[in-house]
Amino acid sequence: MPKDPHSDLPAGPRHVAIIMDGNGRWAQARGRPRLFGHHAGARRVREVVEACPDYGVKYLTIFAFSTENWKRTQVEVAGLMSLFRRYISKEARALDEEGVRVRFIGDRVRLDPKLIKLMDSLEDLTKNNEKVHLTIALNYGGRDEVARATKRLAQDVADGKLLPEDVDEETLPKYLDTQVLPDPDLVIRTSGEARISNFLLWQSAYSEYEFIDTLWPDFTAAELGRLCQGFGNRDRRFGAVKI
C-alpha cells in the first residue's frame, strides 16, 4: 500500500476525475425543474475544488457536458449553456485568487462563440496558477476525443512529420485533449449509476473507480476525503504481480 513520505497515512490520488451525475434527480425529488439541480451542482464544484489541497489532489477533472447531452431537451441544453457562461463569469476571479488553473477539454466547434470566448479568457487568466489544476470537460466524449486525436496523428503521418512505424501507445496521448495532464488515479461517479459514460476512455485504463449513491448536489468535501483515503488503501499493480 503506497505511503505519503511525509505522513503515516496512505498516499491519496494525485488526479481525481468526477462524473457529476444526479443533478436532475436531485431537483425532481424536490419537485423542482432539472435546471434547479444543475445550478445546485455548479455551486458544489467550488467546495470540492477548495478541498482538493487538503487531500493532496493536484489535478481535478470534472465532466460538465458530454457530446451525447445534446440529445436532451432544447430547454435543458440552453439552460446548461447559460449556466456555464454564468459560472465562468462569476467564478473567474475567485478561481484565480485561489491559485486554480483552469483548462477546458472537448470539441469547441459546436459551442456558442460567447461561451468559447469566456473559456479562452479564463484559461488565459489562470495560466500561471499551480495550486490546483481544474479541467472541465465541456462537449466532451472519450470516443470523439480519440477520433479527433487520430485525425491529427494521421495528418502528421501524411505530412511526413511522423513515421507509421513510430506510432505506439505512447504516441496517441500526445494528441489527446489531456496531453499535458497525468492520467487520473481515481474516477468517481455519483448518483448510483455504474458506468463510465464515454469519459476519459484512454486515460482511465488503470484508474481506480468509485461508484457512489450520493447525488452530485449532495456530494461534500468530507466524502471526497473519505474516497481519497480509501484509494490509499488499494493495492495498485498495473498488471504486474508483486513478489
Active site residues: 21, 69
For residue 18, what are the β-bridge partners?
A: 62, 188
Length of the chain in terms of residues written: 243
DSSP-H helix ranges across 67-220: 74-97, 113-125, 142-158
d(CA 216, CA 242): 37
State whether the Cα torsion 26-28-34-40 is positive or negative. Answer: negative
Cell of 192: 448510483
Distances (CA, A) of 182 to 40, 45, 70: 29, 21, 28
User: What phi and psi, each to the nearest 5 degrees, are found at residue 118?
Assistant: -65, -40
Cell of 115: 461561451
Nearest alpha carbon to residue 151 among 181, 197, 109: 109
> Do 179 and 204 touch, CB atoms closer than 8 A?
no
